[in-house]
Amino acid sequence: MGTTSSFINYSVSKIDGLSSFFSYCKYESVDSTNEILKDLANKSFPEGTLVHALMQSKGKGRSGKAWYSPKGNLFFSILLRPKVPISVISQLSFVASLAVRQGLVNITNNMNGFIFKWPNDMLLNNKKISGILLECSPTNVSNVPDWVVIGIGLNIFESPEELDFATSLNEHGYFVDLNILIKEIANHLEKFYKDWLINGFENIRNIWLKYSHPKGKKISIVIQNKKIEGKFNGITSDGSLIIKLFDNSTKVISGGEVNLI
């Protein structure tokens, strides 16, 4: 989801049922689909360009962490060019999260197992199965970025053995066609993205809260090497985390790594 030099067998092809909004580009192996797409974005490739790789050698997640990327798992990135201020771009991680969940539900028919963990993780039975990495260009004089790249990683075949909080679809008996899952996620991302552009964040926020871990769930978050513990108390109108501390005060947090307790 990370340089662009190590790719082979690039092709532009089609996925049956994929919306015409998207231009699908497939690679056998890349360092990172996000890095490939950022390079294409700077070369004026259009909104909706979708880069899918069967393997990544330098996949990355949030905060510069490596993303486990063996063949059989799913890694793809989508280019968007919303003409909106940088201050609301982070809301696109919630847009993408809704699309990932709906795609997984449609494929597995599991209505209740997939839940959100702030800001952009997907859990299956309380273990991480998917992550989203949002990157954007520097802003122009109007404080609007030229492009946004949304990288999506999904543990299909396996998850890192050393991480007991991670899981995969196969581990739960779900065996899926990657192309069908890409189609489901991408088509729903287009729908939620256009809703967000027209109507703003409120509807996206409400749907996200419906499928997140419930209010009152004990969480911890590390900010500047300081650990804060409390209870999840929802998200603000702009997507920031609200945590209710154990002294009953509340704190609004715009970034950090959340863990469920």
Are 18 and 24 contacting, i.e. CB atoms less than 8 angstroms apart? yes
Provide the pLDDT for residue 164: 66
CATH number at residue 182: 3.30.930.10
Provide, rounded to the nearest whole percent, the portion of the chain with pLDDT above 70.
89
- Residues written for the chain: 261
Domain boundary at 210, 233, 249, which? 210
- Structural domain span for residue 58: 11-210
If you average pLDDT over residues 213-231, what whole number do you get?
A: 91
pLDDT band, very low/low/confident/very high, at 12 (cuts 50, 70, 90): low
pLDDT tens digits, residue range 132-160? 999 999 998 899 999 999 999 999 988 77
Q: Are 199 and 90 in the same domain? A: yes
Can you give the pTM of this predicted structure? 0.90
Provide the pLDDT for residue 226: 87
Is the peptide bond between 119 and the residue preceding it cis, with omega within 30 degrees of 0?
Answer: yes
Are 118 and 254 contacting, i.e. CB atoms less than 8 angstroms apart? no
Task: Compute the distance between CA of residue 97 and CA of residue 179 in angstroms, rounded to an integer.
Answer: 18
pLDDT at 50 over 70: yes
User: Residues with Cβ < 8 Å from 225, sequence gap 6 or more?
Assistant: none
pLDDT band, very low/low/confident/very high, at 163 (cuts 50, 70, 90): low
pLDDT at 230 over 90: yes
pLDDT tens digits, residue range 99-109? 999 999 999 99
Using H for helix, E for strand and C for coil, what is the string for 27-84? EEEECCHHHHHHHHHHCCCCCCEEEEEEEECCCECHHHCECCCCECEEEEEEEECCCC
CB atoms within 10 A of CB 123: 20
- Is residue 107 in some structural domain? yes
Q: Are 249 and 128 in the same domain? A: no
CATH number at residue 225: 2.30.30.100
Task: Compute the distance between CA of residue 98 and CA of residue 118 in angstroms, rounded to an integer.
Answer: 12
- Is residue 2 in some structural domain? no
pLDDT tens digits, residue range 201-210? 999 999 999 9
Q: Are 164 and 234 in the same domain? A: no
Q: Are 109 and 35 in the same domain? A: yes
Average pLDDT, the chain: 89
- Is residue 71 in some structural domain? yes
Are 154 and 129 contacting, i.e. CB atoms less than 8 angstroms apart? yes
Q: Which residue has the tokens 């273990």?
A: 127
Q: Are 245 and 124 in the same domain? A: no
Task: Name the least confident of 129-138, 223-232, 244-253.
Answer: 223-232
Task: Compute the distance between CA of residue 234 and CA of residue 251 in angstroms, rounded to an integer.
Answer: 11
Q: Which amino acid, residue 89? A: I
- Is residue 1 in some structural domain? no
Q: Are 191 and 223 in the same domain? A: no
Domain boundary at 210, 234, 252, which? 210
Provide the pLDDT for residue 90: 95
Provide the pLDDT for residue 141: 87
Q: Are 135 and 189 in the same domain? A: yes
Q: Which amino acid, residue 31? A: D
Provide the pLDDT for residue 7: 40
Query: Mapping DSSP to helix (H, G, I), strand (E, B) and coil, where does residue 18 land?
Result: coil
Q: Are 74 and 138 in the same domain? A: yes
Number of domains in the chain: 2
pLDDT at 60 over 60: no
CA distances from 260 to 105, 116, 225 (A): 23, 11, 17
